[in-house]
Amino acid sequence: MTETNAMNPYAPVIIKLLQGVIYNDDKESWDNLIKYHVPIKEYFKVIGIDVLIYETEGFAFLKQKKFDEEQEINLPNLIEKRQLSYPVTLLCVLLVEKLIEFDATDGDSTRLIVDKDEIKEMLRIFLPERTNEAKIIDNIDENINKLVKYGFLRKLNDTESKYEVKRILKAKIPAETLQEVKNKLEEYAKFIA
């Protein structure tokens, strides 16, 4: 048996999951993920990683399991956790709320598209007043670019100012923790004001 023949047919899916989120628009990877989800989940389970598949939303990603202290399992972190700044976290929360509102009102489309100016207006209300308007705009552009880098927003090719809000945001900030995050942001905003 050659080395290539010994490789599992879902090996590319495992590698892609280790690289980040898999979306259903990556047809081959998505189809193989759905087809081989049981062995893929088993593969990751033995190293303390869960494979979260949101089939109706069209994405999947890895999440490190949290173990109780009494279990005395101490695994190094494989999944990178990012500490987000106040404006980036605030933007994530506002976009999740917009996704929830979009899902409740717009039955035809599954993609939420927002304009850069709309994002700026959403954020501007919550950011501290400064005399330098250009600096505020630059900071907002920087925060939008961070969300693109993290895979929470996708810049549309046909325009400079339109972005698709990726549904993974709802998984990263679920509705049940949304209010808790908002409360923490409000407390922090009072502290920095």
Cα separation, 147 vs 153, in Å, equals 6
Tens-place pLDDT, residues 4-20: 568 899 999 999 999 98
**Rounded to an integer, what is the distance from CA 157 to the centroid of its chain?**
20
3-state secondary structure of 6: helix
Which tokens in the block code for residue 170?
């709802």
What does the pLDDT average to over 86-102?
86
What residues pair up with 164 in beta bridges, in sequence order? 113, 154
**Please, are residues 165 and 112 in contact by the beta-carbon 8 Å criterion?**
yes
**pTM for this one?**
0.74
**Please, are residues 49 and 78 in contact by the beta-carbon 8 Å criterion?**
yes
Question: Which one, of 82, 55, 104, 102, lies nearest residue 152 by Cα?
Answer: 82
DSSP label of 46: T
Domain 3-71 is found in CATH 1.10.10.2250: yes
Cα separation, 176 vs 94, in Å, equals 15
Tens-place pLDDT, residues 102-150: 888 866 677 889 998 888 888 777 666 654 556 666 678 888 889 988 8
pLDDT of 51 = 96
* Residue intervals in the chain for CATH 1.10.10.2250: 3-71
Higher model confidence: residue 187 or residue 154? 154
Tens-place pLDDT, residues 155-179: 888 777 899 999 898 888 877 777 7
**Please, are residues 97 and 182 in contact by the beta-carbon 8 Å criterion?**
no
Task: Please provide the CATH number assigned to the domain covering 86-192.
Answer: 1.10.10
What does the pLDDT average to over 44-63?
92
